[in-house]
Amino acid sequence: MTGVAFAAHVAAFAVAALACFAGLSRVRYVEDPDTRRGLAGLLATSGGWAAAQAGFLALPTQPVKVGVYTVGLVAGFATVGAWLYFCSAYTGRTLHRNPAVRRAALAVFLVVVVAKLTNPVHGAYYDLVRVSAPFPHLAVRHGVVHWLAMGASYALAAVGGFMLFELLTQTGYDTRPLLALVGLTGLPVVADVVGTATPHLAALTYEPLGVAAFAVGVLFVYEERFQAVRLAADVDDAVVFLTDDDAVREANQRAVDLFPALADATGAPLADVAPGLAERLPGDAPVLELTVDGERRFFQVSATPFTFGRTRVGRMVVVADVTRAERNRRALERQNERLAEFASVVSHDLRNPLNVAAGRLDMERERRDSEDLDAVAGALDRMEALIDDLLLLAREGADIGDRERVTLAALAERAWASIAAPDATLVVDDDAAFEADADRVVQLLENVLRNAAEHGGADVTVRVGVLDDGRGFYVEDDGPGIPEADRESVFGMGVSTADGTGFGLAIVRTIAEAHGWSVAATDAAAADTGARFEVTGVDLADVELAA
For 141-183, what is each residue's pLDDT tens digit?
Answer: 778 888 888 888 878 878 887 877 776 665 555 566 666 766 6
In single-letter form, the type of residue at position 178 comes to L
Residues with Cβ within 8 Å of 93's Cβ and at least 6 positions away in sequence, in order, are: 87, 163
Residue 476: beta bridge partners? 463, 532
CA 226 from centroid of its chain's CA atoms: 19
Among 56-70, 212-226, 278-292, 313-327, name the most confident range.
56-70
Q: Pick from 202, 189, 67, 72: which is nearest to 137 by CA?
A: 202
Report the distance separating Cα 230 and Cα 87, nearest Å.
11
pLDDT at residue 493 is higher than 50: yes
Q: How confident is the model at residue 116 (pLDDT cuts 50, 70, 90)?
A: confident
Q: What average pLDDT does the segment 52-68 reach? A: 87
How crowded is the C-beta side of 251, counted as CA atoms within 13 Å?
26
Query: Helix (H, G, I), strand (E, B), or coil: what is residue 268?
Result: coil
Measured between alpha carbons, how far apart are the two ends of the chain, in Å? 99
Read off the pLDDT of residues 369-395 as tens digits, 9 standing for 90 and up: 888 888 888 778 767 766 776 666 665
pLDDT at residue 397 is higher than 60: no
Longest dimension (CA), the chain: 135
Report the distance separating Cα 415 and Cα 410, nearest Å.
9
The per-residue pLDDT of the chain, averaged, comes to: 79
Q: How confident is the model at residue 351 (pLDDT cuts 50, 70, 90)?
A: confident
Residues with Cβ within 8 Å of 281's Cβ and at least 6 positions away in sequence, in order, are: 246, 270, 301, 303, 317
Q: What is the pLDDT of residue 547?
A: 42
Q: What is the pLDDT of residue 462?
A: 93
Query: Helix (H, G, I), strand (E, B), or coil: what is residue 267?
Result: coil
Task: Reply yes or no: is the peptide bond before residue 134 cis, omega within 30 of 0.
Answer: yes
Report the distance separating Cα 169 and Cα 529, nearest Å.
64
Q: How confident is the model at residue 136 (pLDDT cuts 50, 70, 90)?
A: confident
pLDDT at residue 3 is higher than 50: yes
The H or E element containing residue 251 is: strand 248-251
Tell the burial category of 447 from Cβ atoms under 10 Å away from its Cβ (0-12, 13-18, 19+). Answer: buried
Sheet containing strand 311-321, strands side by side: 248-251, 238-242, 311-321, 295-308, 288-292
Report the distance separating Cα 5 and Cα 11, nearest Å.
10
Instruction: Answer yes or no: are the C-beta atoms of 540 and 472 closer than 8 Å.
Output: yes
Residue 291: beta bridge partners? 296
Of 352 and 102, the one with more pLDDT = 102
Read off the pLDDT of residues 236-269 as tens digits, 9 standing for 90 and up: 678 787 877 888 877 777 888 888 888 888 788 8
Q: How confident is the model at residue 449 (pLDDT cuts 50, 70, 90)?
A: very high
Q: Which long-range contacts (CB under 8 A, 24 or more apart) does 112-121 make?
A: 112/77, 112/149, 112/152, 113/74, 113/77, 115/145, 115/149, 116/70, 116/73, 116/74, 116/77, 116/149, 117/70, 117/74, 119/70, 120/66
Q: What average pLDDT does the segment 222-235 reach? A: 53
Q: How confident is the model at residue 477 (pLDDT cuts 50, 70, 90)?
A: very high
Report the distance separating Cα 473 and Cα 468, nearest Å.
9
Among 92-101, 111-120, 202-211, name the most confident range.
111-120
Is 0.85 surpassed by the pTM of this model? no
